[in-house]
Structure 1
Amino acid sequence: MSNLLTGGDLRARDHHRIEDDAREEGPLHPVTLPNGVRMQVVTVGLELTRQLLADQRLSKDSAKLQREIKRQLAERGSAQENLAGLFGPSMLNSDNPQHARLRALAVKAFNGKAVQQLAPRIEEISAELIGGLPENEEIDLVKELTVPVPMHVIGEVLGLPAQDRAHVRRLIETMMSMEPEVSQPASDELGGYFHGLLSGNGLDPRSLFGVLATAADDDGDRLSHDELMAMAFLLVVAGHETSAGLIANVVHDALDNGLWHEVAEDPGLVPRLVEETLRHNPPVRSATHRIATEPVEIAGTTVAENTLLLINLGSAGRCPRAHEKAGEYRLDRATTGHATFGHGPHFCLGSALARLETETVLRQLTSRFPRTVHAGEGKPEVTHSDIMASLKSLPVVLRR
């Protein structure tokens, strides 16, 4: 079942079939990453997925993850990778009590009120980009809109100088490419950029990240330089790549299911459309890496201590035990339960921001161009990394 990760040249929704077939075959599937690291992909129903995401025996600790990955690389005779970027000691890669400490500090910058303060700026960014799109000709909406919007937003969140944002975007794309010979140098360069930003005076203190850099708890505890570095990596990956993927998937799903004009007529449908895409066609295929700290039984099969795990999220959202006709995309569901933003202590702190960006773009785009249609032939290609499942391109013709 190695195609749970690579999948060859996948097209839109091909990975649904792969993931759903895997769920029906069994709970665990051994895979090997391009760098040779071995792990298990978990494909189970929604209820068990939520239990596993909250299971403290499945550790997110940065040191444990790095130790096992480096052990496997050394076993293969591979060069030791610098894993401090994607596997640095951020909230994403920590267990309690450290996770609770980091999250409590981050909440000060990313609470609902702080995110809502970004809403007018997100409206402006979306309106400016959408206003510049050409009508009645084929364009790639990924390139022209769904990537630039969250890049501008994460630039605002991080307080990045405007002239640096395109370069940072290229580094993020390269780092997430699953090609070790280029992804590691990009990660190192991005780390150097963030180090310079935090060490100098380039960070906007009014940005959410600027607030985070100075936030302190009641005892005066604040994030260290290394913790801020790890948080910056977390924000660019979780706060940019996933939002870009979600916006593209929602636009594609609205068009592909004949719902575009309906949403244009009734903007109140936008949040329901976003939730159905999160359930049925999430941009994140699997939750990020976990490691078993002891033998753990998963749906009748035991994984050994130190096993690396990826918990698949798409197959959980499309679980037939959780939803009637789970494989269909529908807006009339009584519930749209999913685990796309995680569950338990690691529930995504940026979920409100991702929803806000996506709903803003979809509302403006359907309102301005209510007769938009797909362009090109066949289904568009999707990424096929271990984590992401977003569109590489989305050819459309925008029509008023």
Structure 2
Amino acid sequence: MSNLLAGGDLRAREHHRIEDEARELGPLHAVTLPNGVTMQVVTVGLELTRQLLTDQRLSKDSAALQREIKRQLAESGSAQENLAGLFGPSMLNSDNPQHARLRALAVKAFNGKAVQQLAPRIEEMSAALVDALPEGEEVDLVARLAVPMPMHIIGEVLGLPAGDRAHVRVLIETMMSMEPEVSQPASDELGAYFHGLLTGNALDPRSLFGVVTTAVDDDGDRLSHDELMAMAFLLVVAGHETSASLIANVAHDALDNDLWRAAADDPGLVPGLVEETLRHNPPVRSATHRITTEPVEIAGTTVPAGTLLLINLGSAGRCPRAHENAAEYRLDRGTAGHATFGHGPHFCLGSALARLETETVLRHLTSRFPGTTLAGDEPPEVTHNDIMASLKSLPVVLRR
């Protein structure tokens, strides 16, 4: 059970079973990642999950996280890794007041007003991608739609040159794999790319990257190079990977639960589909890494100081104490029944953008191809690491 929580390849829904069984077995499960790093996965109910996500004793400090991971790698004799990519000093890996300072620089690009200004472009791109899909043939919605659409949108927001985006996507996918021998070189290459982009002269000054490279706060402070690099990693990876996986998961769930035709007939059902997938089948399996600054009691078990933690979000959303018939996929639930976008100060900055992208794509797909069916007899394969769960492909037959 613990090893399965760490990651691997499964069929759709199998990771649900593993997470739910883990929650029933107990609140804490030691897992060892392929690089040899050990941490505890927390599987508790929704209420306690939200409390833990706001507990200041569970630190997000980049330096503390890197120290503990490097200590474990050295102790096990594993090769030392460059952790500056996923564990750099970004707003994701920081506590207040540093977190508030870094978040303030990016929030204007992702608030409600800014996202609504992107709506026409998202509509245009969704329509173009859907129009290009062939009718009556087997199509992989991951490769043809779920991956390219958010990559182009986040690329435009941040200022990634259009010709670089496909390669950046490949590097992200490789970096997020469970194989250190390929993920580390991909992380290094992506870091070199961001260094060149952020220190060169090609950035659009109106893009988010263009703004943050020159932004100075009220005290005359500006981001260091390490902070700029960490922000680049965070916004590109999180701004693309989460949306791509969510689009694929919602499309799969609508088909798998016989709700595709209903969404085609009534587009007003689409937001509910997105929320139920976020609860029932989230692309983000666990909140990103935390480390305890002192002993912390979790559901009756004391966790020592210096423990690396992952708080599982899928098991929390499907907790039977939070929802009646929690294992079922249903559209008659409220919108507050999950913590997939986090809770508290680290609530996902891009949640509104991810929702808008997914809802827009699904409306275009269902209205154009209302008779669509899943292809093949086997559930699609899911690849997952300690944080994300993503469909490798989603073969469908598009029908009017």
CA distance in 1, matches of 2:80, 2:233: 20
Alignment partner, residue 40 of structure 1: 40
Alignment partner, residue 22 of structure 2: 22
**Cα deviation per residue 1:241-268 (whole Å; 9 max; x = unaligned)?**
1110000000000001111111111111
CA distance in 1, matches of 2:252, 2:5: 22
CA distance in 2, matches of 1:7, 1:171: 19
Q: Which amino acid aligns with 2:175?
A: M
Alignment partner, residue 316 of structure 1: 316
Q: Secondary structure at the match of 1:63?
A: helix
Checking the alignment, whether the CA contact within 8 Å between 1:7 and 1:15 is kept in structure 2 is no
**Cα deviation per residue 1:203-250 (whole Å; 9 max; x = unaligned)?**
222223323333443334332322121111001221111110000000
- 2:99 matched to 1:99? yes
Alignment partner, residue 160 of structure 2: 160
CA distance in 2, matches of 1:217, 1:111: 19
Identity %: 87
Alignment partner, residue 273 of structure 1: 273
Q: What pairs up with 1:106-185 in 2 under 5 angstroms?
A: 106-185=106-185
C-alpha spacing 1:6/1:300, structure 2 compared with 1 (3 Å): closer
Q: Which amino acid aligns with 1:245?
A: S
C-alpha deviation, 1:337, in angstroms: 1.2
Checking the alignment, whether the CA contact within 8 Å between 2:204 and 2:210 is kept in structure 1 is yes
- 2:249 matched to 1:249? yes
C-alpha deviation, 1:188, in angstroms: 0.7
Q: Secondary structure at the match of 1:104?
A: helix
- Contiguous gaps of at least 5 residues in structure 2: none
CA distance in 2, matches of 1:222, 1:212: 8
Q: What pairs up with 1:219-230 in 2 under 5 angstroms?
A: 219-230=219-230
CA distance in 1, matches of 2:266, 2:210: 38
**Cα deviation per residue 1:170-214 (whole Å; 9 max; x = unaligned)?**
111110011111111110110110110011122222223323333
Q: Secondary structure at the match of 1:386?
A: coil
C-alpha deviation, 1:7, in angstroms: 5.3
C-alpha spacing 1:215/1:266, structure 2 compared with 1 (3 Å): farther
Alignment partner, residue 302 of structure 2: 302
Alignment partner, residue 340 of structure 1: 340
C-alpha deviation, 1:335, in angstroms: 4.6
CA distance in 2, matches of 1:334, 1:385: 29
Q: Secondary structure at the match of 1:48?
A: helix
CA distance in 2, matches of 1:111, 1:334: 23
Alignment partner, residue 57 of structure 2: 57
C-alpha spacing 1:165/1:190, structure 2 compared with 1 (3 Å): same
**Cα deviation per residue 1:145-183 (whole Å; 9 max; x = unaligned)?**
101111111211221111111111111111001111111
Alignment partner, residue 199 of structure 1: 199
Q: Secondary structure at the match of 1:331?
A: coil
Checking the alignment, whether the CA contact within 8 Å between 1:109 and 1:212 is kept in structure 2 is no
- 2:200 matched to 1:187? no
Q: Secondary structure at the match of 2:83?
A: coil
C-alpha deviation, 1:3, in angstroms: 3.5
Q: Secondary structure at the match of 2:309?
A: strand
Checking the alignment, whether the CA contact within 8 Å between 2:171 and 2:187 is kept in structure 1 is yes
C-alpha spacing 1:162/1:52, structure 2 compared with 1 (3 Å): same
Q: Secondary structure at the match of 1:382?
A: strand
CA distance in 2, matches of 1:113, 1:212: 19
CA distance in 1, matches of 2:292, 2:52: 11
- 2:47 matched to 1:81? no
Q: Secondary structure at the match of 1:91?
A: coil
CA distance in 2, matches of 1:103, 1:335: 25
C-alpha spacing 1:334/1:226, structure 2 compared with 1 (3 Å): closer
Checking the alignment, whether the CA contact within 8 Å between 1:109 and 1:211 is kept in structure 2 is no
Alignment partner, residue 288 of structure 2: 288
C-alpha deviation, 1:24, in angstroms: 0.5
CA distance in 2, matches of 1:337, 1:211: 36
Checking the alignment, whether the CA contact within 8 Å between 2:5 and 2:19 is kept in structure 1 is no
C-alpha deviation, 1:9, in angstroms: 3.6
Q: Secondary structure at the match of 1:178?
A: coil
Checking the alignment, whether the CA contact within 8 Å between 1:6 and 1:386 is kept in structure 2 is yes
Q: Could you tell which deviates more after superposition, 55-64 or 95-104?
A: 95-104
**Cα deviation per residue 1:54-112 (whole Å; 9 max; x = unaligned)?**
10000000000000000000001122111000000000000111001111222133222
Checking the alignment, whether the CA contact within 8 Å between 1:247 and 1:361 is kept in structure 2 is yes
Query: Structure 1 length normalisation: TM-score?
Result: 0.97
Checking the alignment, whether the CA contact within 8 Å between 2:8 and 2:178 is kept in structure 1 is no
Q: Secondary structure at the match of 1:379?
A: coil
**Cα deviation per residue 1:318-368 (whole Å; 9 max; x = unaligned)?**
011111111100001245410000001100111111111101101111111
C-alpha spacing 1:209/1:271, structure 2 compared with 1 (3 Å): farther
Q: Could you tell which deviates more after superposition, 201-210 or 258-267?
A: 201-210
Checking the alignment, whether the CA contact within 8 Å between 2:383 and 2:389 is kept in structure 1 is yes
CA distance in 2, matches of 1:108, 1:39: 34
CA distance in 2, matches of 1:26, 1:334: 27
Alignment partner, residue 261 of structure 1: 261
Number of equivalenced pairs: 400
Checking the alignment, whether the CA contact within 8 Å between 1:129 and 1:145 is kept in structure 2 is yes
- When the two chains are superposed, the root-mean-square deviation of aligned CA atoms in Å is 1.3
Q: Could you tell which deviates more after superposition, 259-268 or 208-217?
A: 208-217
CA distance in 2, matches of 1:77, 1:13: 36
Q: Could you tell which deviates more after superposition, 133-142 or 198-207?
A: 198-207
C-alpha deviation, 1:6, in angstroms: 4.4
